Chains A and B, each alone.
Chain A
Amino acid sequence: MSDFNTIYDSHLALKDKKISATELCNEYLKVAKENPNNTFITLTEDYALNKAQEIDKSGIKNHLDGIPFSLKDLFITKNIRTTAGSKMLYNYIPPYEGTTSSNLQNAGAVLVGKVGCDEFGMGSSNENTPFGPVNLPLNKDYLPGGSSGASAVSVLEKSSLFSIGTDTGGSVRLPANFCGLFGYKPTYGRVSRYGQIAYASSLDQASPFARTPLDIAIIMDAMTKNDEKDSTQAPIGAMSSTSKILNNKDKSLSLVIGIDRSMIENCREDVRENLNQSIKELEKNGVKFKDITLPHLKYSVAVYYVIATSEASSNLARFDGVHFGFSSTEGHDLENSYALSRSLGFHEEVKRRVLLGTFCLSSGYSDEYYSHACKVRRLIYDDFQKAFNECDYVYSPVCATTSFKKDELMTPLQMYMNDLYTIPVNLAGLPSMALPYGSSSLNSLPTGFQLIGNSFKDEELILDSHKIFEVLK
């Protein structure tokens, strides 16, 4: 087994010919094939080896050349089955290529396979899927969080050097936090959503998992190219955060970080201890913490479940059994065939959210729920803007607890509360880095925090995360 586990170190090893792309690929494929944590839905072994061999022939140029990675199965891959973790798309082979997949593969990365997730990205545990739950490699009784849990696990179990998930309400930052990895949710509109199966269009954003901020930078540089196929992507060109990190000489952390301490007080004791410790250490390294209030954040979960489910009810309408995907042949007329295909094709959580969204948009309720939620969403955004008038970043927990056990019974509402701290970021469209920090005194599982930046301050946030990582590690 190679002794490097970051993209950057692997890149140097590949460049120095300490290892070939094919050898590296085989190492990661071996784990992927064993699939010890039920991470993979579809393995792309031949595809990956072909690509690795090509790269060995053409030589290493880019940071991502020959780097094995996985994609959450919400990302469209041409001619490679894409299931969205759902029975609905169990046999769906896309006829086109998605932007996330093409950007990373064009940059040289080698696709090992498609990994599981909560169906259509709806969930916080990676359990809501007919493909079965995914183990937390650190303790197999526990879950990696969701919905992009399997992506986090693929990095942790070393079947991928990095993985791309989707973050709609925390679906990347939560599993990153539970698995002790970096998870980065870009500013809404920084990356293309073309070829990413939509859950809630105004919140969804493709987001990477990796072991260091530098690795996140390498991935983000490749993912931020302009894509004219997504009108909601800001046409501001690719980031160049890798070179900014590599060329950075200034190690000081002269940052002002806003903090609403009530958030920390609401966390479980073991998490709270570590958060307070991280604050102390950051202060020791020059960071100034400033008390702020974010008064409307308490409405975030309610607002999120109105807006996200409303959009989902519309986005998921195309899965009706007519044009693609699961189709029940039992229907005796059109309406019945729709009802059967959707009742049998979707799992409980998806049905719950589609029904909730359908209700929220119904005439007579739309103004009370959907329109109202949109107004509160704006107030949440304004809260953050006020904070950014006086600070560079906002510090926040990612989750009040560490990972939870597989058999821990939770009501849907309890499950939704796991995303209490991550959801406001999506509602406000802001970038946020989940950073791992310490482990729980209760169960030894990873803990961490997130740093939230202002819109389109992605490069700054990634660079500062790198600096923080350097002093905290």
Chain B
Amino acid sequence: MSKYETVIGIEIHAQLNTNTKAWCNCELKINGFENHYVCEVCSAQPGTLPVVNKQAINYALMLGIATDCNINKTSFYDRKNYFYPDLPKGYQITQFHTPICEDGAIELVGESGEKKKIRIERIQLEEDTGKSTHYNDYSLINLNRAGTPLVEIVTKPDFKTAKEVTNFLKKIQSILVYLDVSKGNLQDGNMRCDVNLSLMPKGSDTFGTRTEVKNLNSFRSVERAIEHEKLRQADILDKGEEVLQQTLLFDVDTGATRVLRTKSDADDYRYIPEPDLLAISVSEENIEKLKNELPELPTDKVNRFIKEFKIPKYDAEVICSEKKLAKYFEKACSLHNGNAYKKISNWVMVELLKLVNEAKADVEKIKLTPKHLVELVELIESGKISGKIAKDIFVEVYDTGKLPGEIVKEKGLEQNSDSSEIEEIVKEIIGAHPKEVEELKSGRDRVMGFFVGQVMKKTQGKANPKITSDLVKKLLGL
């Protein structure tokens, strides 16, 4: 394997979440009652004509702007002709000769912090097909999806590793979601990825024959398929054989790829300019308008959070990786009187994400709202409760939606800062642990934790840890 260099390029199809389909006024309800969201246009009745969905064009333009593409002032639709039952027209309307956006790029940051530019060759507008479901001796077709507007994003062969590919996918996904142009969900099929991979001898500048692995529906599948395909091709090359130009399907169960079709018979899609649609003309004003109205992108938000909330880059990136999470955090910060933003960030990144991920919950719909979180952080900050108590009641707040202050009050969990009360307990513990007292006196500071812990145990975590350790020192004359 070390003899070869891996060359990977990808194609991403993303369904645009427009109000209606690409060429007709049908609602986009792919999972609605089968064949219910279908009209004469998307079922390709004879005599029907497509009408362009302007929203889809704007969405593609927004994506082009966000990925630093050149916008073609004039671009065209083409027909890609092939027969398949879930393609009722017998052709897909796409953009072959001149796509709406070209020559963009996205910057990735590698594990060791190095920057790498992934070039985008083109972004083109097209349409989704219907859905076929195959049974033993028959197949069913559902046209609810037929005519769903798609963008296809094609990269240059700039990737070398699976990690780079998934990082790129995550970045594209978050851009799609930030722009609100697609749900961008691989699992649900509204974002799909095909991987083109080839090997070449190290140091060579001539690409090898590539294979295309289709319809990978999770980041994990993308990584596994790439690792498998790398080894499979290396194996072939090692034997002195030739890699065939094939379209492959990844099998999630076996982790292997299998041949869908061999391209030796050169797929001939007989492209022809779509005579039923006019060229797409994009004015400079429209581009400017979209630029001005473009929602904040993930990278910009990360930078702003670093500056505004003084949180580390790592925190900002984790929080901004998901638009909803970033919104949650920002809301919490805006409700907070003070500057404990890093504390808020910690709670969001660690405790909150843990519960949300476990429950696969939508952060916008959970009972623990930014208001709850801020109240909790402020209870800690003001010394009213300890961090430990906060952690303990966090789950309860999450489950019930009760305000943290209420729970603290109900359960009497307020931190005990009464020195004389704590002093009694400290005395008791010092008396019971002479060995540890000696150790502490001899300079083993770590033992302090033991004493504080014992006091906490006795007080169910309510003793103020600072006062407790001060008292230990005072009583032992340290």
Contact = CB atoms under 8 A, between A and B. Distances in A.
A160 interface: no
Interface stretch (A92-100, A207-215, A266-274, A280-288): A92-100
B411 interface: no
Interface string B40-68: 10011111111110000000000000000
Contact of B270 (A194, A200, A366): A366
B145 interface: no
A259 to B, nearest CB: 32
Interface string B78-113: 010101010011110000000000000000000000
A95 B40 contact: yes
A318 B272 contact: no
Nearest to A204: B275
A229 B49 CA distance: 7
A423 interface: no
Given A318-B90, A338-B83, A361-B272, A195 B47 contact: yes
B47 A194 contact: yes
B387 to A, nearest CB: 63
A84 B85 contact: no
A47 to B, nearest CB: 19
A318 B44 contact: yes
B88 A322 contact: yes
A201 B44 contact: no
A232 to B, nearest CB: 6
A361 B271 contact: yes
B90 A317 contact: yes
A39 interface: no
Contact of B89 (A95, A317, A338): A317
A370 interface: yes
A34 interface: no
Interface string A61-86: 00000000000001110000010100
B277 interface: yes
A195 B48 CA distance: 6
A141 to B, nearest CB: 34
Contacts of B275: 200-202, 232, 311
A455 interface: no
Interface in A295-327: 310-311, 313-314, 316-320, 322-324
Pick the most buried of B48, B85, B89, B268: most chain A CB atoms within 10 A of its CB: B48
A27 B81 CA distance: 48
B276 interface: yes
Interface residues of B, number: 30
B87 to A, nearest CB: 9
B34 to A, nearest CB: 14
Given A92-B46, A95-B40, A314-B79, A229 B51 contact: yes
Contact of A231 (B40, B266, B270, B276): B276
Contacts of A319: 46
A92 B90 CA distance: 18
Interface string A194-233: 1111101110000000000000000000000000111110
A334 interface: yes
Q: Report the contact-size class of chain A (Cβ under 8 Å from the partner).
A: 35 or more
B45 A324 contact: yes
Contacts of B79: 314
Nearest to B86: A322
Contacts of B39: 96
A201 B44 CA distance: 15
Nearest to B88: A323
B278 to A, nearest CB: 5
A317 B83 contact: yes
A193 interface: yes
Contacts of A322: 85, 88, 141
A98 B45 CA distance: 11
A91 interface: no
A362 interface: yes
Contact of B85 (A75, A334, A362): A334
A133 to B, nearest CB: 23
A58 interface: no
A282 B45 CA distance: 47
A318 to B, nearest CB: 5
A369 B276 CA distance: 21
Interface string B397-414: 000000000000000000
B272 A311 contact: yes
B85 A76 contact: no
Contact of A314 (B40, B47, B49, B272): B272
A231 B90 contact: no
Nearest to A84: B46
A159 interface: no
Contact of A323 (B43, B48, B52, B268): B43
9 contacts: A82-B46, A94-B46, A96-B40, A194-B48, A232-B277, A320-B83, A324-B45, A361-B81, A366-B270
Given A96-B39, A314-B272, 19 more contacts: A89-B46, A95-B45, A194-B49, A197-B46, A198-B46, A201-B276, A228-B51, A231-B51, A232-B49, A310-B272, A314-B79, A316-B90, A319-B46, A322-B88, A323-B44, A338-B83, A362-B270, A363-B266, A363-B270
* 5 smallest beta-carbon distances between A and B, as pairs: A317-B90, A361-B270, A201-B275, A96-B40, A202-B275
